[in-house]
Amino acid sequence: MATYTLKVRRYQPESGEGPYWEEFDVDLDPSLSVLDGLLQAKDRDDGSLSVRCSCRAAICGSCGMKVNGQSTLACKTQIGEAFEAANRRNGESEPIVVEPMGNMPVIKDLITDMESTHWTKIRRVTPWLLPHGAPPEREYVVEPESMIDITQSMACIQCGACVSSCLSMEADPDFIGPAALAKAYRFVGDPRDAETEERLHDLAHDPHGIYDCTHCFSCIDACPKGVAPMDQIMRLRRKAGEHGIDDDPNNGHNHVTAMTKIIEKKGTNDESLLIQESYAPGVKGKLKPTKGAIKGLTESLPTVLRAIKTGKARSLSKLIPGIHPKLPDGAQDEVKAIYEHAEEHREEFNVYIHGEEDVEPEPDETKMEETA
């Protein structure tokens, strides 16, 4: 048993006052949870301290909040570990900081409005099956193997921790966001769904869709269930590319294609060509600017001019797209061979499904033979 201080961000809209911090001392075994601490404070000190919770076992997804700035489930965070995390840098007397989830309005204390952001965004991606044709007499029959790919996104418990942590949404509240896009992949990858291409087209053509993710990994660390929403967003991008959806308004597909082509030809990145091709890809020797290309290229100009002025980008290979040198001494041919091999196979290895346990054939058998 130890005493911990919880520094809780409180807010009661009916008071007419803004949010404020209040500290509660709680006495708990370090292996108990931050949620247990909050419930003890509510029981002992202030019954009006508001928190949403139910199962206390990381199943229901009700108690999403920020503990020491990290979006998580309060019931899945041990209070002893939270104390250590709060005191990693500044001695041993810092309180455990508990706040409501980010990127959504606060209703009261630690209770956020899941409806206006999380659920609205979830509904945005049509989170139900869209099969074609008359339904079968009994259930849809699918091979179990064909569903494995989407088990990771199916593990979502809708707690909103990823939405709370999303750094893209922090800068662009219209971003569809990690939870909804992970849910979108759950249906894009479902063999029973018949509108895969329409879904991908919709998500790629929304300027706040799959190409609005900044690839910051925050949602991966926030998710209590290993859904890795960002990985699902990258799968959606890959699928959109495979379906030939190349005219998204964010130039996202162009950017991926440009980078892939440049490394095949040069081995290292030709940044000026990447900028040009991301906006206006060259097709058979002719530039095909997309709708926003002229705007995008024009907006890049002041930055490029400044870089020329300071000497950052004064060499010709940095200024003229395409004259960037190849890798030396046949190394470029090695890269090309890798492209041929990988484009032929296109294997997709998912650590979540496979696990990290390497099942290398043990040399023990040989040893045993030798011993025998």
Q: Please list every residue from 147 through 176 that binds other proteins, using CB under 8 A.
A: 167-168, 170-172, 175
Whole-angstrom Cα distance, residue 64 to residue 178?
A: 15
- Looking at the chain, which runs of residues are DSSP E strands? 2-10, 20-28, 64-67, 70-73, 96-99, 106-108, 111-112, 282-283, 286-287
Q: How far is the CB of 313 from other proteins (least distance, A)?
A: 6
Site string for other proteins, 191-230 (x = CB under 8 A): ----------------xx--xxxxxxxx-xx------x--
> What tokens appear for 251 in the block?
């130039």
Nearer to other proteins, 56 or 151 (CB): 151
> What tokens appear for 98 in the block?
């508990």
Q: How far is CA 302 from the centre of its chain?
A: 32
20 binds other proteins (CB under 8 A): no
Helices (H), 243-363: 252-266, 271-279, 293-310, 316-319, 331-345, 351-354
Q: Which residues from 262-281 bind other proteins, rule CB under 8 A?
A: 263, 267-269, 271, 275, 278-279
Site string for other proteins, 70-109 (x = CB under 8 A): ------------------xx--------------------
**Site stretch for other proteins (CB under 8 A), options 10-18, 121-129, 282-290, 328-336:** 328-336
255 binds other proteins (CB under 8 A): yes
Q: How far is the CB of 57 from other proteins (least distance, A)?
A: 21
**What single-letter DSSP state applies at residue 85?**
H
Contacting other proteins (CB under 8 A), which of 12, 331, 366, 368? 331
Whole-angstrom Cα distance, residue 9 to residue 245?
A: 45
Contacts for 35 with CB less than 8 Å, ≥ 6 apart: 51, 53, 56, 63, 73, 74, 75, 77
**Site stretch for other proteins (CB under 8 A), options 44-52, 103-111, 156-164, 340-348:** 340-348
